[in-house]
Chain A
Amino acid sequence: MIDPNLFQLVCFYAFAAVTVAAALAVITLKNSVHAVLALVLTFFSAACVWLLAEAEFLAIALIVVYVGAVMVLFLFVVMMLDINQEQVREGFIRFLPVGIVVALVMLAEMLALIGVRAMRAVSMGPNPAEAAGLSNTAWLGRALYTDYLLPFEVAALILTVGVVAAVALTLRKRRGVRHQDAGEQVRVDPRSRIRIVKMDAVRAQAPAPKEPQA
């Protein structure tokens, strides 16, 4: 019988490896549609890692919101932009060696600093939701609307600013653009569209008989 702790550890490393590999694919794949699909895989495997950490609600939210909605939007945008693949990747090979060196140095430094110790580190603390005897979602909701109420409201303010900024930067009134104005269409009055002309009935005059040829 396999040890559940060991099984969990193996799952964690498997999902983490897939996450990192997919994230690498996002920035290395030439085709941007493929890159977006790789990003979907990244999110999905990150959600799996969260499930392992017993954060079920966040995992499901990640899949529903990011994979389901945001990434589909991304795909649409990428397809609509129709980017020329050759031009985008021009500098890639040239800067690749430098990039790899920097990445390796950073990796080595990070491993030296935290990686080795993390192996010995204690595992995650007790699940606070379980300790409180609540389901994951209920506990999250309670934390969000009591302890973290103020940050939650400030986040809403940030979204408001996002809307204001988007409108301020994109809404402009152009002259001479042909577009439909729904309000105008609804308010239309039949009299402004059809003019009913009353006139006396006139009998159509028969064409004048042709003059007989002489």
Chain B
Amino acid sequence: MPNLTDLLILLPELYLTAAACLLLLLDAFIRPEQRNVLHWLSLAVVLVAIYLVVANQPPFPVTAYGGMFVRDGVAEILKVFALLCTALVFVYARPYLADRKLYVGEFYTLAIFATLGVMLLVSAGNLVMVYLGLELLTLSSYALVALNRDSAQSSEAAIKYFVLGALASGMLLYGMSMVYGATGTLALAQLHGAAAHTAMPNLLVFGLIFVIVGIGFKLGAAPFHMWIPDVYQGSPTAVTVFIGSAPKLAAFGMAYRLLETGLGDLAPHWQQMLAALAVLSLAIGNLVAIVQSNLKRLLAYSTISHMGYLLLGLVNAGPEGYAAAMFYAISYALMSTAAFGVILALARAGFECEEIDDFKGLNQRSPWLAFLMMLAMFSLAGVPPLFGFFAKLLVLQAAIHAGMLWLAIVGAVFAIVGLYYYLRVVKVMYFDKPVEGSEVRVQPDAGLRVLLSVNALVLLALGLYWGPLLGWCRAAFPG
């Protein structure tokens, strides 16, 4: 039976639920010109949630509701960074939304509900909780993508996202039902033991395949990546920046919970499958990104390749690999918010600033933004001494330690291929002449400017001083 201790363990989630519902109510009573109140309140809600996660720490790992909900180091770190990303998104998104009549309360409520889904997903201790957390996250994301109803592109992206997402959820559920059929338990912790001596090992592996397909869809790993480019390009940039950050942390959390906590005994099976997914993602993501002319689409393909690197860490199937993969997920979330943040800072009413040509000669017009974009691009490419370099180094190291040298070599080769298209953006900014008649107007929003600068500089700072973060990641996965 659940009791008060269970509720205390669940405090951050309960608080966020209540706050989201209150914001929803407040939105109904507020006048459109007072939306700023809602913006600041939402921001405060997310920041307080971070405080609650950090401050209210029971001794780890602790479970609530009979093992349904787990709080451990992995969940805590992922939650803090997911909430942080959401707060960044709120600040970055406001001028963009205000310019496009999208400055509505639903954006904030849906984003908070999506973040709540992330938090429940990374804390899931049961297959049912994994599925429900995922649905809460994705359902909110579909609605966010479709928020701009007047844009045919957004609607198309939302429909594609919805149909493929529903298909992926179906696959995942089918796999889970097979796993349940083979082991007779839904709890991930019990699954771990039951998987070893099941009467139907074939059925279990059959279920595992579908679970991996589901995870592949949610990560956006090739060959389940088809939705990523259209959704990234089609959604309003303010929503793209959200989809590119917190849900990636959730996808890592989901993969960890399902594959390690639940099906860890089947690691020899899923290691091979993940290695195949990783190679395909690296190849497709990096090669197709080269020919893109739209920056949002380019970043979408770059996401696919980054998910390939994340999988390199998971392939290791040991504490070192999980720590590397989590470090990678965090670094990717921060780099992607910075890159999309620059696009948001340059976009204005009637001008999306999403073509690479729009960045021509940015250095002459706004040297600081060009510098920030350069930091983001170099970090995504994995140039030392930036954050992305160490993240890549760690996952490659994890793959080598797993005895998959060939996989690490593939990863390193495609990192060089990837360098080309990131450098192209930098070259366009620094060495091309600005297009006549176009002028760069940076959004005057002070919060956006300051936080974007901090975000991009953090990429540099964490590249130089990455010890503590890596220490936390390693501590979260005790051997």
Contacts and interface: CB of A to CB of B under 8 A. Distances in A.
A161 B202 CA distance: 38
A98 B147 CA distance: 37
Given A146-B1, A161-B140, A117 B200 contact: yes
Contact of A165 (B2, B120, B139, B205): B139
Interface stretch (B62-70, B239-247, B382-390): B62-70
B433 to A, nearest CB: 43
A155 B65 CA distance: 15
Contacts of B199: 121-122
Contacts of B178: 114
A121 B126 CA distance: 25
Nearest to A109: B206
A150 B106 CA distance: 25
A151 B142 contact: no
A113 B184 CA distance: 18
Contact of A146 (B2, B69, B205): B2
A165 B147 CA distance: 9
Interface in A89-131: 110, 113-114, 117-118, 121-122, 125
Contact of B143 (A125, A165, A172): A165
Interface string B112-140: 01001000100000101100110110011
Contact of A125 (B10, B110, B184): B184
B68 A151 contact: yes
A31 to B, nearest CB: 24
B294 interface: no
B237 interface: no
Contact of B110 (A114, A122, A164): A164
B38 interface: no
Given A157-B17, A158-B135, A164 B128 contact: no
A164 B109 contact: yes
Nearest to A116: B202
B451 interface: no
A121 to B, nearest CB: 7
Contacts of A110: 206
Contacts of A168: 104, 106, 110, 143, 147
Contacts of A117: 200, 202-203
B141 to A, nearest CB: 10
Interface in A160-211: 160-162, 164-165, 167-169, 172
Contacts of B132: 151, 154-155, 158
Interface string B95-115: 000000000101001100100
B338 to A, nearest CB: 28
A148 interface: yes
B104 A149 contact: no
Contacts of B157: none
A110 B206 CA distance: 8
B149 interface: yes
Given A147-B66, A158-B135, A164-B109, A169 B143 contact: yes
B372 to A, nearest CB: 32
Interface of B: 1-2, 10, 17, 21, 24, 64-66, 68-69, 104, 106, 109-110, 113, 116, 120, 126, 128-129, 132-133, 135-136, 139-140, 142-143, 146-147, 149, 178, 184, 199-200, 202-203, 205-206
29 contacts: A110-B206, A114-B202, A121-B200, A122-B199, A125-B184, A146-B2, A150-B2, A150-B10, A150-B69, A151-B129, A154-B132, A154-B133, A155-B132, A157-B113, A160-B21, A161-B136, A161-B143, A164-B109, A164-B113, A164-B143, A165-B106, A165-B110, A165-B140, A165-B143, A167-B106, A168-B106, A168-B143, A169-B147, A169-B149
Interface of A: 110, 113-114, 117-118, 121-122, 125, 146-151, 154-155, 157-158, 160-162, 164-165, 167-169, 172
